[in-house]
Amino acid sequence: MAIGLIIIGDEILSGRRVDQHFSKVVQLLAARGMKLDWAEILGDEPPRIVATLKRTFASGDIVFCCGGIGATPDDHTRQAVADALGLPLVLHEQGKRNIEQRIVQMGEEAGQPADLNSPENLHRLKMAEFAQGADLIPNPYNNIAGFSLHQHYFVPGFPVMAWPMIEWVLDNKYANLFNREPHLEQSVLVYEAAESSLTPLMVALEKQYARVKVFSLPSVGDANTRRHIELGVKGEPAQTLEAFQQLRDELTRLGVEFAAP
């Protein structure tokens, strides 16, 4: 079961804001022995969001989607989910109550009673309009919930809200996947070698060890480090140990200089 991440917002693509979600989601998953399989960044363009969601809903993947669930004109995610699934957008009653509680709370904090029927506050209820059948994702920051459908989890673009909401989903929905597949990664630094000369070894290792992936990360070096390639293997621990020993033995046989990272 693959895990994907969708980040939505013109401000990311234009460079006005730097994305923080990718690295954090990788970190949250790694802390639970899980990994991210793919990620996409989309602008605030409804047809593209709808097309992407149609594809990801059909994939069966677990997908986290950050951004676009507010109530301003550039927030299209809620409607896009409904369109992608061919479902109506409906007001979620518990989501509505959460927003109303937040409005009352803000009024109390400001020292003036809140008018739940004011145009401004009625408009805020749009943040509780989700595709029919959606479940809520609790928001510990301000109680305005995100939502989920078909293993897709939609949270705000604000990290202070999104990250604890994603953690809640992982801990409450997917604890059975934590550390399900033990994983080991080992590598060496290979100096002054052409990556093409190492390719046959990499191909042979992946062919021999079905549960191991081989990786190479070339570096041109700097003032403190010579040109090198970080060459390694990762995957099921027992096979990884065998593959890594074979990798080292073959590098030695080839007379290639290498050292631990």
Residues 91 and 172 in one domain: yes
| pLDDT at site 180 | 80
Residues 168 and 197 in one domain: no
CATH number of the domain that residue 104 is part of: 3.40.980.10
Tokens of residue 126, six digits = 């749009």
Residues 97 and 124 in one domain: yes
Give the model confidence (pLDDT) of 207-233 as tens digits: 999 999 999 999 988 888 889 999 999
Helix (H) or strand (E) holding 6: strand 3-8
Residues 63, 40 contacting (CB under 8 angstroms): no
Q: State which residues form the domain around 222.
A: 184-259
pTM as predicted: 0.85
Helices (H), ranges, 184-232: 195-208
Residues 226 and 104 in one domain: no
Question: How far is the C-alpha of 165 from the C-alpha of 142, rounded, in Å?
Answer: 11
Which residue is listed with tokens 């992936």?
Answer: 213
User: Residue 181: pLDDT above 80?
Assistant: no
Q: Please list, in sequence order, all residues whose beta carbon lies within 8 angstroms of the beta carbon of residue 166, skipping any fewer than 6 positions away.
A: 25, 28, 64, 153, 155
Which CA distances in Å does 79 have to 10, 31, 184?
Answer: 17, 33, 42
Question: Quick one: 260 exposed, middle or buried, by C-beta within 10 A (0-12, 13-18, 19+)?
Answer: exposed
CATH number of the domain that residue 199 is part of: 3.30.70
Residues 192 and 172 in one domain: no
Mean pLDDT of 46-52: 98
Residues 126 and 208 in one domain: no
**Angle, nearest 10°, between helix axes 159-173 and 21-30?**
30
Q: How many domains does the chain have?
A: 2
Residue 135: name the closest of 119, 149, 122, 117 by CA. Answer: 149
Residues 52 and 141 in one domain: yes
**Angle, nearest 10°, between helix axes 77-85 and 46-59?**
50
| pLDDT at site 118 | 93
User: Residue 19: pLDDT above 80?
Assistant: yes
| pLDDT at site 179 | 85
Band of the pLDDT at 11, cuts 50, 70, 90? very high
Residues 165 and 194 in one domain: no
- Domain end, chosen from 177, 209, 244, is at 177
The torsion region of residue 128 among left (phi > 0), alpha (psi -120 to 50) and beta comes to: alpha
Residues 151 and 241 in one domain: no
Residues 70, 154 contacting (CB under 8 angstroms): no
Band of the pLDDT at 103, cuts 50, 70, 90? very high
Q: Parallel, antiparallel, or unpaired for β 135-137 and 3-8?
A: unpaired
Give the model confidence (pLDDT) of 190-211 as tens digits: 998 999 999 999 999 999 999 9
Give the model confidence (pLDDT) of 131-176 as tens digits: 999 999 999 999 999 999 999 999 999 999 999 999 999 999 999 9
Give the model confidence (pLDDT) of 106-123 as tens digits: 999 888 888 999 999 999
Residues 155 and 231 in one domain: no
Tokens of residue 78, six digits = 């809620």
| pLDDT at site 80 | 98
Helix (H) or strand (E) holding 234: strand 228-235
For the chain, what is the mean pLDDT?
Answer: 95
Q: How many CA atoms lie within 13 A of 17 on its CB side?
A: 15
| pLDDT at site 1 | 78
